[in-house]
Structure 1
Amino acid sequence: MDVIVIGGGISGVAVAYELAADREVLVLEAERSLAVHTTGRSAATWIGSYGPPVVRELTTASRDYLIDPPFDVDGPVASPMSCLWLGVNGRDAEVERLAAETQAQLIEGAEAERLCPVLRPGEIKVAAWDETALDLDVMGLHHAYARAFRARGGTIATSARVASALREGSEWVVTTTAGDVFRADVVVNASGAWGDVVGALFGAERLRLEPRRRTIFQSSTNASLDGVPFTAGIDDGFYFKAEGGAVLCSPQDASLHEPGDPKPDELEIARAIEAVNAVTTLGLRSVRTAWAGLRTFAPDGNPVARWDAKADGFFHYVGQAGYGIQMAPALAQLAAPLIRER
């Protein structure tokens, strides 16, 4: 085996697909199925004006790939969507800066009310309008990546949590909790929130990754959702979008959480409902369903894609901070040559 990729989320299968063009690649997934954690719990959007500068650059570079993937997909994985950034809580200057730095267009409150009919009149003075956003079929994209990876000869092993690792000569000997043993020249750590946990098994440096909980919920409304775009407060206090006749919403919480299966934060849900109702006529009250996932941050907030300084043949591919889906194609195409060239 040339490469073992640890982690079967969108990041892991994307970089595995790129490497499988000319390498023998194995993906090890700890769970019984792929995309159980962060990938399967996202808001399923591509927004070029979302995130810090490095993330926005990688996101923009991924757009054409998502619209027209180089492999077979079961229907489109990206469809047009618009995004409205609201100047809330006195953050108008941040909206203006976002419009100056990205493709989003600075607009006045009256125009924002026209574009998002559920906004309360007079509540918003300034906003930014991004017409380039996309609604993503995340699981469709993930399945297509995995299928294309297998078509290139790649192998995926599920229920394959890494128990130990040993460097023997130029190879890593990786043993799973099931007792299976795999050997490879290179290991790519795409294990998300478990990045530092996995790294420690290989004697790699600790990146000081911070898994943070993000709660998402769906709520009913009596308001018409016709024409309602993806709408977010510039202060990271909330976002919402119409989905299936209901409102998909998040408080954009980011509380520290151990790697695992987080539960939705009921207090954050209540806060988000209050914040959304303050600027809209949605009248959110009851919650249909709620879930949570982990967004994992490196200390500088940028994704980590580099060789370890201590463990030979160990490549870090983590810290994607919840932007991993929208920048997966470009980040994988950036990392794959680094891994090949060592």
Structure 2
Amino acid sequence: MTSKAMDQSFDFAVIGAGIAGASIAAELSAQARVVLIEMEAQPGYHTTGRSAAVFAPIYGPAPVRALTRASEPFFRTPPDGFAQEDLFAPRKILMMARADQEPSLDTLLSEVGAAASVSRLDEAALLEVNPLVRPGYAKWAMLDSNGQDIDVAALHQGYLRQFKTLGGTLLTRSELHSLTRSGASWELQLKTAAINAGVVVNAAGAWADVVGKMAGIAEIGLTPKRRTAAIIAAPQTLATDHLPITIDIDEQFYLKPDAGRLLISPADETPSAPCDAQPEEMDIAICVDRIETAFDVAVRRIENKWAGLRSFVQDKSPVAGYAEDAEGFYWLAGQGGYGIQSSPALARFAASQVLRRDVPQDIVDQGVRVQDLSPARLRVPA
């Protein structure tokens, strides 16, 4: 449904129709009247639509890893009719380390513990797993055999379809102009509509602090960071589709098979204002240099390139909880580079809080704690 002139009241207004907004809107629509508001012509235009998502249970801070574990059952067995395609396709994850990076590898191995899917490899073994790695470049690696490619488009569209089926209202091309609390509800003035809602869910991605400021709420310290990616040809002498995503242990680059080609990134994290991020030539040049140094790959041409914004708060864990300084304002922001893989559990976690219910037990059982995601943890002491 596209935007149109309207004046309506809803129980919940969700701002931002990327994966965070679409997933929580779908969860809430089974219980209440929900409007999902998107400033672009199509949902997921910014970060969600530019993700090279891999399901990596060992990736990210502890709260992220817990949310990712809690999300796995959904990916493997989504609700009937959610998607026509499988959401998962196996993709091993190889985190490799030069000799001087061995302490970083040891730290990661200690954090993931004795996960059954994880093993430590020496150089000979890692070259067997990914023969594109230049001999002599890396001494050690960690292999996670439980990694998966995520069909991001199928996941996102599944949530949007579920939202529509449950009676939700999607407004696109609907930039938020003002957000004010009036009595027991919020008044949202959009480009083409006036909306009234009891609760606002701020899932605006890189713009989340902008929305908070518009509502007169203290910022959470969100920093959008640009990440660049490109597509190059794969070597003709080696079949690459079965290779793992291969990541520098200190996240200086990664390489991932992509439909017969290779997706490469310098894993840059350049602070940026909220915007339609575009790749910069310097980042592409840095990426090519790092890839050619680590892999037996000659980059002769960049076939495609893009950039997206990944937004973080200081501890790099998501922010999910009601604001302390405004009634009925819920933060759902700061997912960083983990938003796709953690979205099913985070949406259910957030929906339970928005509805003021207990967090689902299966999520709690994976170690997800309210205090680790609450915006209250970000308060600056007086």
Query: What TM-score comes out, normalization by structure 2 length?
Result: 0.87
Deviates more, 1:229-238 or 1:93-102: 93-102
- Find the counterpart in structure 2 of residue 296 from structure 1: 311
Q: Structure 2 matches for 1:131-210, cutoff 5 A?
A: 131-178=145-192, 180-210=193-223
Deviates more, 1:218-227 or 1:4-13: 218-227
The reply to whether residue 63 of structure 1 matches residue 72 of structure 2 is yes
What is the rounded CA distance, in whole Å, between the counterparts of 2:285 and 2:336 in structure 1?
24
What is the rounded CA distance, in whole Å, between the counterparts of 2:80 and 2:170 in structure 1?
18
Deviates more, 1:71-80 or 1:156-165: 71-80
**Paired residue secondary structure (2:307):** strand
- Find the counterpart in structure 2 of residue 90 from structure 1: 100
Aligned-residue RMSD, C-alpha = 1.3
**Paired residue secondary structure (2:75):** helix
What is the rounded CA distance, in whole Å, between the counterparts of 1:221 and 1:168 in structure 2?
57
The change in CA–CA distance for 1:225 and 1:49 in structure 2 (over 3 A counts) is farther
- Find the counterpart in structure 1 of residue 37 from structure 2: 28
1:328 paired residue among 327, 343, 346 = 343
The reply to whether residue 234 of structure 1 matches residue 249 of structure 2 is yes
- Find the counterpart in structure 1 of residue 23 from structure 2: 14
Instruction: Please say if residues 173 and 181 of structure 1, whose CA atoms lie closer than 8 Å, have aligned partners that are also in contact.
Output: yes
2:233 paired residue among 220, 239, 243 = 220
How far is 1:285 from its partner? Answer: 3.2
Q: Deviations over 1:187-244 (max 9, x none)?
A: 0000000001111111111112100000010112334143321100011110011112
What is the rounded CA distance, in whole Å, between the counterparts of 1:325 and 1:316 in structure 2?
17
Instruction: Please say if residues 127 and 135 of structure 2, whose CA atoms lie closer than 8 Å, have aligned partners that are also in contact.
Output: yes
Query: Percent of aligned positions with the same letter in both sequences?
Result: 37
How far is 1:145 from its partner? Answer: 0.6
The change in CA–CA distance for 1:184 and 1:334 in structure 2 (over 3 A counts) is same
AA of the residue aligned to 2:13: I
AA of the residue aligned to 1:202: A
Instruction: Please say if residues 214 and 292 of structure 1, whose CA atoms lie closer than 8 Å, have aligned partners that are also in contact.
Output: yes
Deviates more, 1:183-192 or 1:85-94: 85-94
Q: Which runs of 5+ in 2 are unaligned?
A: 1-9, 358-382
2:302 paired residue among 287, 296, 299 = 287
What is the rounded CA distance, in whole Å, between the counterparts of 1:280 and 1:31 in structure 2?
38
- Find the counterpart in structure 2 of residue 76 from structure 1: 86
Query: What TM-score comes out, normalization by structure 1 length?
Result: 0.96
The reply to whether residue 116 of structure 1 matches residue 130 of structure 2 is yes
**Paired residue secondary structure (1:185):** strand
- Find the counterpart in structure 1 of residue 49 from structure 2: 40
Instruction: Give the length in aligned residue pairs.
Output: 341
How far is 1:10 from its partner? Answer: 0.5
**Paired residue secondary structure (2:154):** helix
The change in CA–CA distance for 1:89 and 1:277 in structure 2 (over 3 A counts) is farther
Q: Deviations over 1:27-72 (max 9, x none)?
A: 0011111110000001121111111111111111111211211242
The reply to whether residue 50 of structure 1 matches residue 59 of structure 2 is yes
How far is 1:89 from its partner? Answer: 6.6
**Paired residue secondary structure (1:70):** coil
Q: Which runs of 5+ in 1 are unaligned?
A: none
Instruction: Please say if residues 96 and 128 of structure 1, whose CA atoms lie closer than 8 Å, have aligned partners that are also in contact.
Output: no
Instruction: Please say if residues 99 and 140 of structure 2, whose CA atoms lie closer than 8 Å, have aligned partners that are also in contact.
Output: no
**Paired residue secondary structure (1:17):** helix
Instruction: Please say if residues 91 and 243 of structure 2, whose CA atoms lie closer than 8 Å, have aligned partners that are also in contact.
Output: no
How far is 1:314 from its partner? Answer: 0.4
Instruction: Please say if residues 205 and 309 of structure 1, whose CA atoms lie closer than 8 Å, have aligned partners that are also in contact.
Output: no
How far is 1:2 from its partner? Answer: 0.7
What is the rounded CA distance, in whole Å, between the counterparts of 1:36 and 1:171 in structure 2?
29
**Paired residue secondary structure (1:322):** helix
Which segments of structure 1 move beyond 3 Å, counting only runs of 4 or more? none
